[in-house]
């Protein structure tokens, strides 16, 4: 999760932090006309679908690679538990109640691990989308004021200066509320991100270790281990990159401020920008 973005100072104590993710930035001057993110809903559903489908496929291959249907059901179940959870139990310690408990707990843990990664990605996408919309507005504002600075008349200078000051004040307030929302999300999800990365790293190492040995050739076990490692690596990278994208987008607006003409600076732009 990112550190405080470029206008987090000078604005603590704002109310209604929950409005930061809705696209509205209520203030005395009205809401910011932020451009909608038409791709956000599609991207969220895409993440949910990909995580659900890939997790089911990977887990189905795990079960297929560790069972032999030539034996009676109790033996099949025992072989599955001993093969898929060899790092937890040895054959001499096996019993049917213990096997059922391991089966139920492992399935619940698999669902929770995939769900926690999906939650981190979805929340990160939402925060990054909000920053992207704010950045587009800042880009549009700096571009329009750069043009008006060349074509405006002196009679309209006072009105333009007041309108510019109000617009930049609302932008600052929107970034302050967004920074507060990100800090709150970071406080809630920071430990979850650490747990997710540790869990993914452990199982990547475990699957690489299990897949490195065994029989030669491209058996079902080999295909499963290759698929599992590829999926775990992709999921771990998606979690890290999605969270990092929030930090990247929180600083994008600085590039537009660098291009802002000096003659158009006001107390909101110069005061906040000098703190960066």
Condensed to tens digits (0 to 9), the pLDDT of residues 155-196 reads 445 546 777 777 778 888 888 888 899 999 989 888 899 999
pTM confidence score: 0.76
Residue 130, classified by CB atoms within 10 Å of its CB into exposed (0-12), middle (13-18) or buried (19+), is: buried
Say what percent of the chain tops pLDDT 90.
25
Mean pLDDT of 14-28: 38
Long-range CB contacts (within 8 A, 24+) of 24-28: 25/170, 25/173, 25/174, 25/177, 27/169, 27/170, 27/173
> Which are the contacts of 180, defined by CB distance < 8 A and separation ≥ 6?
12, 14, 17, 20
Mean per-residue pLDDT over the chain, rounded: 77
What number of helices (H) and strands (E) belong to the chain? Answer: 7, 0
pLDDT computed for residue 50 by the predictor: 94
Which DSSP helix (H) or strand (E) runs through 40? helix 40-65
Rounded Cα gap, residues 10 and 274, in angstroms: 12
Say which range, 3-12, 29-38, 198-207, 249-258, has the weakest mean pLDDT: 3-12
pLDDT computed for residue 148 by the predictor: 62
Rounded Cα gap, residues 248 and 178, in angstroms: 14
Q: What angle do CA 58, 60, 195 make, to 5 degrees?
A: 45
Confidence label for 216 from pLDDT (cuts 50, 70 and 90) = low
pLDDT computed for residue 112 by the predictor: 92
> Which are the contacts of 238, defined by CB distance < 8 A and separation ≥ 6?
47, 117, 121
pLDDT digits (tens, 9 = 90+) for 229-250: 999 999 999 999 999 999 899 8
Most confident of 114-118, 206-210, 272-276: 114-118
């Amino acid at each position: 999760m990112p550190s405080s973005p470029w206008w987090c100072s000078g604005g603590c104590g704002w109310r209604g932090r929950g409005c930061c993710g809705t696209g509205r930035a209520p203030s005395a001057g009205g809401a910011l006309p932020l451009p909608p993110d038409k791709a956000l809903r599609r991207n969220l559903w895409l993440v949910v679908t990909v995580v659900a489908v890939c997790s089911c496929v990977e887990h189905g291959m795990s079960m297929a690679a560790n069972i032999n249907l030539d034996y009676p059901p109790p033996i099949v179940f025992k072989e599955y538990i001993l093969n898929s959870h060899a790092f937890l139990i040895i054959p001499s310690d096996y019993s049917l109640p213990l096997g059922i408990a391991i089966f139920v707990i492992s399935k619940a843990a698999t669902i929770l691990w995939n769900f926690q990664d999906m939650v981190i990605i979805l929340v990160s996408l939402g925060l990054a989308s909000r920053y992207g919309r704010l950045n587009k507005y800042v880009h549009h504002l700096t571009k329009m004021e750069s043009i008006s600075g060349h074509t405006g008349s002196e009679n309209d200078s006072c009105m333009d200066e007041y309108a510019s000051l109000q617009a930049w004040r609302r932008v600052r307030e929107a970034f302050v509320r967004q920074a507060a929302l990100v800090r709150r999300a970071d406080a809630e999800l920071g430990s979850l991100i650490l747990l997710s990365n540790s869990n993914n790293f452990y199982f990547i190492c475990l699957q690489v270790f299990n897949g490195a040995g065994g029989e030669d050739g491209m058996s079902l076990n080999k295909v499963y281990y290759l698929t599992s490692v590829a999926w775990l690596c992709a999921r771990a990278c998606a979690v890290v990159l999605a969270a990092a994208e929030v930090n990247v987008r929180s600083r994008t607006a600085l590039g537009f401020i660098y291009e802002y003409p000096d003659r158009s600076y006001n107390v909101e732009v110069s005061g906040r920008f000098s703190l960066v």
